[in-house]
Chain A
């Protein structure tokens, strides 16, 4: 009887004596808050996704896989997935390409550079609602400045957000613009980490500007690129604000993406279970995509140390 007691005593003494307890104690409030606001909702959504639940009545019914089956047969959800994929596959490469271009252009000593930098970074500071209102009027088919400009050079007027074939592209343009400041900041920081002697050596060896970029700058930027691709992809798959503030998923579902779909289901149609199931499909998709990206990253990213 005495042996286990003494060993547990010594364990208690060891725990108390070490720094572990202090560490745990200091992080406990943060862990509790994360648990409350992140982990609990994550688990509760799993439960919710197997229920018919309108959030109003307490007698939610357990329905097994019915919500997931209903998703699979809902043509609007299929559209939402398609639009999310199209959006992501346009938004991420465009953001990276334009971002790296602007960052390289800004990574030098020119007059008024701080003004140019501010002009780009300001997109970070502008709230989504302001961006949305600005694009709503820029792209207005009748009164917008873009159509006026197109008209002036003889291009036929576009419907933009009024045209089911163009609305998603306008959202892409709006979000690429909105994220540009963030992408450029990351790339500028990474560019400043590239050792000057490498570039100097290359230019002494009379390498062209393009091959310097292609062979030195771009590979050395790859950790930043990996980070941006992962981060932008996760955000793209969760697109919501811009859609909610402009098209509300229309016209004719042409900008309905997954998160907008699940918002609609939960808060307009009182189908929280179906919405939770859609959220879980999205969660799994993001997980798979991110794992693939990291796996590819290990092979393609060059870490200089």
Chain B
């Protein structure tokens, strides 16, 4: 008797553990599961839009779930894909596009985009580039940003120098950083994320492009960053490190707090960081150039990627994503969160005038979208190439190598990786 009860309990527990994640498709609205990494105000804005969509589209029910902070979204999706139960839509970084598009569960969107009234070319070029791999559209732009200078007005006044201007060169930037540095006050002109991750690398890639260089050759077969332009861009970092005017954050955890504490004169960062600086009276300016007004910036556009859970759910998922990224909804989200507009036409909507008033310093980043002329190469090997570049940049910043040697070593590694030997 005792044994039988135990067996029953065990069986019940196992049955409970194994209940399948069945998703009834018979009758009722089509269910769409969306994963995102938004918290706070960003989450509230997304949830409000999802609720509005569900109310106005009775045949579809979107469920938005917080999955993980966006940095970890890919790990979660990878795990879910291996487990066989995955969301219909996920927020994923654009830098993962090349790897994501290999997966058979990623839905190519070319046909959907063509047949919809989405007006694909209204998205900024940098966004479209980050969502496209070899002509295949793997996602719809979800968020765009770019890098520009944010500076502490008070420290500029104290140092007796004038604010950055749009025609600044990197030499002007270096001179200002030097003037802003004061060892006795533990004050630095600039701060650089030096943890050798992609954050280290993309700050420098914008400089590489401004100097006229490229990351890879046009056919993506070999490294091109060890060109004279690359050496020029990295030598600028090397010189500034030798000036001791850069605070090197090798753990990439402290820059925002230090800027907000008035210890750093300038940071090069994106619009997402502005809410972290409540204690500083700051201004914003586009990145300096290496002369000739070749201003460039770099964007890290992120995407809504759709996964294949059957034709019906694909269609519903795409309908939701195109509604969410339509100009009207875009503007609502921007006004609630400070996200930059994803589309050129958003700026022409009557309600847009409130946006730069509400978010101080944001218009620099909006205008800077026009300086995003290039995207990082959409190749599977990019994360490994980024690692090689990250080590090169950090070794120069720490004074362990010089720009020429470090870049030529990184180029050797990148070429081996691209040749499939890395």
Contact = CB atoms under 8 A, between A and B. Distances in A.
Interface of A: 16, 21-22, 25-26, 28-29, 32-33, 54-58, 133, 136-137, 140, 142-143, 161-162, 164, 167, 246-248, 250-253, 267-270
B17 A33 contact: yes
Contact of A247 (B81, B104, B195, B398): B195
Interface string B381-422: 001100100010011001010000000000000000000000
Contact of B250 (A21, A137, A250): A250
Interface string B37-80: 00000000000000000000000000000000000001100100
Contacts of B354: none
B394 A251 contact: yes
B346 interface: no
Given A162-B398, A270-B383, A28 B81 contact: no
B356 to A, nearest CB: 34
25 contacts: A22-B6, A29-B9, A29-B14, A32-B17, A55-B82, A56-B100, A56-B102, A57-B102, A142-B247, A143-B258, A162-B248, A164-B400, A247-B195, A248-B195, A248-B196, A248-B251, A248-B252, A251-B196, A251-B398, A252-B394, A267-B75, A268-B383, A268-B387, A269-B384, A270-B380
A136 B254 contact: yes
B251 A252 contact: no
Given A16-B3, A32-B17, A246-B251, A57 B104 contact: yes
A133 B253 CA distance: 9
Contacts of B3: 16, 21-22, 25
A210 B195 CA distance: 47
Given A22-B2, A267-B75, A136 B380 contact: no
Given A247-B250, A250-B195, A250-B250, 13 more contacts: A16-B3, A22-B3, A25-B10, A56-B102, A136-B254, A142-B188, A164-B400, A246-B251, A247-B195, A248-B196, A250-B194, A253-B391, A270-B99
B395 A252 contact: yes
B293 to A, nearest CB: 35
Given A250-B196, A251-B394, A25 B7 contact: yes
B103 interface: yes
Closest 6 CB pairs of A and B: A25-B6, A56-B103, A22-B3, A28-B10, A29-B13, A55-B78
Contacts of A54: 99, 102
B314 interface: no
Given A32-B14, A251-B196, A162 B81 contact: no
B263 interface: yes
A78 B250 CA distance: 22
Interface of B: 2-3, 6-7, 9-10, 13-14, 17, 74-75, 78, 81-82, 99-100, 102-104, 186, 188, 194-197, 247-248, 250-254, 258, 263, 380, 383-384, 387, 391, 394-395, 398, 400
A40 B383 CA distance: 30
B253 A136 contact: yes
A32 B252 CA distance: 42
B75 A143 contact: no
Contacts of B82: 55
B407 to A, nearest CB: 15
Nearest to A17: B3
A57 B103 contact: yes
Nearest to B187: A142
Contacts of A33: 17
A32 B17 CA distance: 10
A57 B82 CA distance: 9
Contacts of A248: 195-197, 251-252
B196 A29 contact: no
A164 B2 contact: no
A251 B401 CA distance: 13
A136 B251 contact: yes
A251 B10 contact: no
Given A32-B17, A136-B251, A143-B186, A250 B104 contact: no
Contacts of A267: 74-75, 78
B251 to A, nearest CB: 5
Nearest to B98: A270
Max count, chain A CB within 10 A of own CB: residue among B17, B247, B253, B398: B253
Nearest to A163: B398
A252 B383 contact: no
Contacts of A58: 104
B251 A247 contact: yes
Contacts of A140: 254
Nearest to A248: B195
A217 B278 CA distance: 58
A26 B5 CA distance: 9
Contacts of B104: 57-58
Max count, chain B CB within 10 A of own CB: residue among A33, A133, A143: A143
A250 B14 CA distance: 45
Contacts of A164: 398, 400
Nearest to A18: B3
A167 B248 CA distance: 14
A242 to B, nearest CB: 11
Contacts of B186: 142-143
Nearest to B186: A142
A133 B251 CA distance: 10
B405 to A, nearest CB: 14
